[in-house]
Structure 1
């Protein structure tokens, strides 16, 4: 592919909103609130923010700079910078290829719940067994997944400026408006103060190595690091745009949404449960079982639930768009195919694998590997193993092979001052590799401990 004719975002704000939209996803809306509740509320929030402006800053900056410097997606970018084995580039394509199909399966669940609240069936969704009954059927989950994947594919099909950028410029402000409105509604409920205090008040006694690893792991997944996405988006970024400030703006949007999501979910569940922390369980149960019950109990709950699932749908779409784009961009760079052909081929691939994931809760439910469903297995392989490995290898590559100076020079294009140059150097060479290695070891050990053969 001729890099001179490579697509590009039309403006800095277009790039920032697209990258922030990629970062803001389902992990912000249910994993972050769960972890905040689990690890002591305010102390977790404080730790997360500190890690965002340190670890998150260094990793995001490195990936975006690599993409902008080479004008290539992950495989071409690392190869162009001299990585002979190109393991980073290959992983940067494999990871989104694994994640995109099962993410679209979950996106189909979100689309279904949005439709349920839109059509006034929210009381049914609040019933015990509604979610498990739905995902165990065959046709409906696949149909809603196809709808979600179809919307994602159309945006990617339209390209960088006409598709991804325009969608992000529309969806991200709407997403921000929705989350602010819902958060204001929740925190003004009569009994919200206790839940809000539980969420925001720092409990220093909860400060621990495990909590810090939990915050670092959430940051790692939340910012779309080590998926090939930010390298790809960086390749569409204009040289004259300030890279350092763009990274901070992306982190601000991502952290803002995550923290407000916690202000919605934690007090809501706290009020509904009468202070029962066990209801703040992780995973699909919180989003698809507990919250519909909570909204059903609130005055005007259908409207709030509709707004919440619209918010969740938009967040899921912006992330799935970036995941599919990372795959499509890599395939285009390697094969020379046009965007039209590549998008169609990759959409068919996602539909096939996503269908298998969906059937893992129905027709294929008896098929388990290490006690995990097909979707859970793909999530474990991508999130707990491959992503930390790629992030660690990227730190080693930037810190010791091409050296931090290669990234620093890219940031300082057009006489831009890199204010945190020395800070970045220390982080990418020393602190980030140590932290990522700790995440990798911790996530593998904890997941293996939960496995059953």
Structure 2
């Protein structure tokens, strides 16, 4: 009976694979291109002096980002396993790392659909109400503290995510990504180009232009730079790697397990990194000049409230065209959030298929119900379950912020550190080299990869972890 059950599980696993390298690259890039690119990247760039943050981020993507992304995808394809069992299949003593990593998408799934509901609500508002309503002071707070509306939009967003994953890897996730990612790219380039044409004269007669905003977003600002400030910007750029590339959370291991052996992994990984970084850069060019033109330097320092509070005021200041631009922007963000949420749900489904041997369809429905309950609790964190707590990184947070801190600020650096130790010093980088060179492929960045994962990444990850836990303060 047990043998039959295991065989059924293997049969279920065989159904999941990408049709080719294009489908894999677009789907993986879709996972990487999320709220972190269009929301978090621009506000960090604005906060951290524009060009300096971007320059550091580019260096880190080409080194740390490539190394972490290569590790996840290569071990996924090599073992054919998902994150729960992947490390244990290589070394039984390190099976705990898979379980630790799996906690990340479990936690993220509880609140990512809530954020998806927020951006969907804004997209709908621009379609129905226009710019004045959304730009009102208190609009965002009024919405998220409501007991019904956030839950309704979250459930709609979750239902769409579930339907796509329910359809499978090739017919659902890959097909969706092939249509949505080019559309997202066209939208974001179009709005970015429009942002650069903006001109505004404030009440003091000062004229600000989009090109001036572009200059601010790209040129490094080294005034009043100290070592501590530089280190904070470096750590911000490093933490953005996790958000941008979906590394160290099991997602890319899952997608790697679906990749065919004849796919050139090194080429695909560079393509994923390029696509993701390109979108982040264009998002910065799209957001920062527009905010600078209408809100000045004060608007540049608005931080996490940039997308839901500052940008609606920017769209209102644009006049009639602001309604269209606002709708296009939040449509982009909705697409980006959806592709990321799909990858999170697929990670949960793919892992449970391997350990429970339950069909994809049944698992999608079960996980969707559990996620809906958990996300409803997160929504309640802004009304009936509201509280404020001081987090180790110095921030004040509510329930969603606590979940975000545990998954992204605490677990991700820790998991990355342990992964680098495991690959760099326990099983050795040759494990990754062999997989990257499978089917006669080349691995031109082999020396770079080995050097970073053994000597550079571990101490940087340790510092990032200690900084996020409040042990180190800069």
Shorter-chain TM range is over 0.9
Distance in 1 (CA, whole Å) between partners of 2:49 and 2:35 is 21
Q: Which runs of 4+ in 1 moved over 6 A?
A: none
Tell whether 2:285 aligns with 1:263: yes
Distance in 2 (CA, whole Å) between partners of 1:356 and 1:188 is 43
Distance in 2 (CA, whole Å) between partners of 1:130 and 1:219 is 31
Match of residue 213 from structure 2: 195
Q: Which deviates more from structure 2 when the two are superposed, residues 358-367 or residues 374-383?
A: 358-367
Match of residue 55 from structure 1: 64
CA contact (8 A) 1:6 1:236 kept: no
Equivalent position SS for 2:297? coil
Tell whether 2:421 aligns with 1:396: yes
Residue deviations 1:210-238, cap 9 Å, x none? Answer: 21111111112211011100000000001
Match of residue 97 from structure 2: 88
Q: 1:138 aligns with which of 132, 147, 150?
A: 147
**Distance 1:359-1:169 versus aligned 2 partners, 3 A rule:** same
1:144-155 aligned at under 5 Å gives the runs 144-155=153-164
Match of residue 202 from structure 2: none
Residue deviations 1:220-265, cap 9 Å, x none? Answer: 2211011100000000001100111111101111111111111111
Match of residue 218 from structure 1: 240
**Distance 1:413-1:185 versus aligned 2 partners, 3 A rule:** same
Tell whether 2:112 aligns with 1:103: yes
Tell whether 2:446 aligns with 1:424: no
Distance in 2 (CA, whole Å) between partners of 1:413 and 1:41 is 41
Match of residue 357 from structure 1: 378
Tell whether 2:399 aligns with 1:374: yes
- TM-score normalized by structure 1? 0.95
**Runs of at least 5 residues in structure 1 that lack an aligned partner in the other structure:** none
Equivalent position SS for 1:275? helix
Match of residue 5 from structure 2: none
CA contact (8 A) 1:269 1:291 kept: yes
**Runs of at least 5 residues in structure 2 that lack an aligned partner in the other structure:** 1-8, 200-208
1:45-444 aligned at under 5 Å gives the runs 45-190=54-199, 191-205=209-223, 206=225, 208-277=230-299, 279-283=300-304, 285-299=305-319, 300-366=321-387, 372-444=397-469
- TM-score normalized by structure 2? 0.91
Residue deviations 1:324-348, cap 9 Å, x none? Answer: 1111111111100100111111111
**Distance 1:188-1:121 versus aligned 2 partners, 3 A rule:** closer
**Distance 1:388-1:152 versus aligned 2 partners, 3 A rule:** same
Distance in 2 (CA, whole Å) between partners of 1:270 and 1:73 is 44
Deviation, 1:110, is 0.4
Residue deviations 1:71-110, cap 9 Å, x none? Answer: 1110121111123241221122211010012010011000
Equivalent position SS for 1:408? helix
Deviation, 1:322, is 0.3
CA contact (8 A) 2:421 2:458 kept: yes
